[in-house]
Chain A
Amino acid sequence: MIRFWQRAGHAALVLPLVLFLGLFFVWPLLTVLEQAVSDPVVSRHLPATTAASATWDRKSVPSAEMQQAFVRDLRAIDDDQTLGDLVRRLNSAQPGFRTLMKKTVTAARDSDGPLDLAEVDARWRETAFWRAIAEATNPYTDRNLLAAIDLQRDPSGAIATMAEGESANRTILLRTFLVASTVTLATCLIGLPYAMLVASSVGWRRQLLLAAVLLPLWTSLLVRTTAWYILLQDQGLINSTLSALHLIAHPLPLLFNRTGVIIAMTHVLLPFMVLPIYSVLIAIPKNLVPAAASLGAGPIRAFVYIMLPLTLRGIASGALLVFMAALGYYITPALIGGPKDQMISSVIAFYATGSANWGMAGALGIVLLAATLVLYGIYGRLSAANTARA
């Protein structure tokens, strides 16, 4: 009995953090998901139409009751903000709604009693416009999630690719993957030999080499990005040194382009590659390579057949960490990159703060979140396997 209460007491210590993270970490992420799939504009502001459309067959022109329900709903809307939201939502599903709604709302407000919509505008005789309204009455939608990967539903409801030039999300996703992969490759090409160098050196040399990795890691990310911003300028230290050495006649364009983003991100993320590889390397017995050499293997053969397979787990952990962090990077591309180097995070931030399109921001956010969580899951399995082996 006492043991039970002791156990309960220990579990209670964890409750404050569980509650805190549940409220301010899990709930916000669920809110993002909700933003991505919710589409409440039409069902909220056209309640009578929403109710009436439930029984409509969606093939013939809607009944007079449904048409008058729509007119009543329009008369009930009294602020332009709501009307604007509604028109924007409908126009995105069916072009032409902007002019049609303007005409119809004016007609509805200037009269009372039943209104013949077909008289107001001939387009109300077409089912396409009514179908767009009826489809938008569903408070949940997959439009944003599909649009996040440049897909949409065609009039029949099947999923189809968006026309070229209509949306650039796939380009941005591809670019994000490309930048993240390039940075991962660059950190690996520098990080692997560097980690081997650290592991093979001793005394103060090892301390110095390790400190060189740890010091940037402890320094503010913003400070490191600022440093690169200043170094990469046209009159920055790199360009002025190169031109003082007469190696270049004109400054190299390094800022506001892809080169700068890759250089800065490689610098920022290099420690995350070096440290996992290093921790695997120092656990490898020192006599393996000499043993291989004594059996006649040259240094390259010994590296490829002995060291590389043993180091692979460290490389994989490092690569996953770097890639995962790079996918969601915002500050460095935002400050160092140009318009063509913006990654998915910048686009999400633009949708959220720039154009207040929370649906698209949420949908792209969910795509990014899902990719990150999958990678984290793989990383977790990998490091669990590492600990089990050690």
Chain B
Amino acid sequence: MLRTGRFLFGAATVLFLLAPLIAILPLAFTSSSMLTYPITQLSGRWFEELATADAWRRSIVNSLIIGGGTTLLATVLGTLAALALRRRIAFHSALRTLFLLPMVVPAVVLGIGLQILLARLGLANTYLAVIIAHTVVAVPFVLVSMSASLDGIDPRLERAAASLGASPARVFLLVTMPLAMPGILSGAALAFATSLDEVVLTLFVAGPNQLTLARQMFASIRENISPAIVAAAFLFIVGTVLIGGLLAAVRQKALRTSATP
């Protein structure tokens, strides 16, 4: 009796968590312009629409440009800061709190402030403005991922390299960075994913020429919903799975190399 109840509850919750994601995916391949089941005929017309319709195509290109810029900026800033936070520097915990704070501050509030400030700095309606805004919220993810990775590095390896005459820069390039690579890569992937999914800040800082895929999806759901949105969502999910798989592979490889001396 208790076992059946447990099983039913577990199954129902798993269904609640996963079913919405799985249930919509087939709709990306519908030939109808309605987002309803049953699907009478399969077709790739909505993916074609993404690739050919100007608004969608431009938004995908914009997302890649902005995502790439954010990944680069957030990874560099986050990696440097994570390296510094490894040591006991002054204001250690205060700095850590500051760096993680963008994760919790409501996006709408930050968006308003950024819109006003970036306009004052003459950056309104530029790619740089959107990249900056996305980097602010992506940096915490890089930092967390990097810190976890750096914590796992045995400091004796670096000391050994230094005792053999390597300069600090050489130690970093030849010892620390290769060991921290999984952390850097997963941080970069998280930064890209954050940028890809960011809507609210984009709403405030992007001009009409910087609309991203997420922003375009948000607008189409509000204005004219069509299966093209599900096709875009399909791309999102496939992208997430690909990046996740890639990261898992990198981590596996790192584990294997560290296991075999």
Contacts and interface: CB of A to CB of B under 8 A. Distances in A.
Contacts of A21: 98-99, 102, 136, 139
10 contacts: A16-B77, A20-B139, A29-B105, A215-B21, A220-B197, A222-B218, A240-B36, A240-B37, A348-B112, A352-B204
Given A216-B21, A372-B105, A372-B106, A14 B112 contact: no
Interface stretch (B8-16, B54-62, B149-157, B250-258): B8-16
B138 to A, nearest CB: 12
B81 A324 contact: no
B18 interface: yes
Interface string A79-92: 00000000000000
B105 A369 contact: yes
B152 to A, nearest CB: 18
A95 interface: no
Contact of A28 (B20, B78, B117): B117
A237 B77 contact: no
Contacts of B108: 328, 330, 345, 348-349, 365, 368
A7 B10 CA distance: 52
Given A220-B197, A229-B225, A230-B27, A197 B6 contact: yes
A218 B244 contact: yes
A277 B10 CA distance: 16
Interface residues of B, number: 76
Interface in B1-37: 2, 6, 9-10, 13-14, 16-18, 20-21, 23-24, 27, 34-37
B65 interface: no
Given A230-B230, A368-B109, A20 B77 contact: yes
Contacts of B36: 233, 235-236, 240
A11 B230 CA distance: 47
Interface residues of A, number: 77
A267 B20 contact: yes
A324 B103 CA distance: 11
Interface in B84-116: 84-87, 89-90, 95, 97-99, 101-102, 104-116
Interface in A26-45: 26-32, 35
A361 interface: yes
B214 A365 contact: no
A209 interface: yes
B112 A7 contact: no
B184 interface: no
Interface in A176-229: 190, 193-194, 197, 208-209, 212-213, 215-216, 218-229
Given A369-B106, A372-B106, A267 B112 contact: no
Contact of A197 (B10, B89, B193, B197): B10
B217 interface: yes
A212 B99 contact: no
A380 interface: yes
B229 interface: yes
B209 interface: no
Contacts of B20: 224, 227-228, 231, 267
Interface stretch (B40-48, B175-183, B232-240): B232-240
A31 B117 CA distance: 7
B160 interface: no
A206 to B, nearest CB: 11
B145 interface: no
B106 A327 contact: yes
B200 interface: yes
A227 B24 contact: yes
Contacts of B229: 226
A10 interface: yes
B23 A222 contact: no
B113 to A, nearest CB: 3
A4 interface: no
B83 A13 contact: yes
Contacts of A193: 9
A17 B80 contact: yes
Given A21-B139, A212-B17, A223-B233, A237 B106 contact: no
Nearest to A18: B95
Given A35-B116, A212-B14, A237 B23 contact: yes
A65 B14 CA distance: 77
A376 interface: yes
A29 B6 contact: no
Contacts of A365: 106, 108-109, 112-113
Contact of B23 (A227, A229, A366): A227
Interface string A277-289: 0000000000000
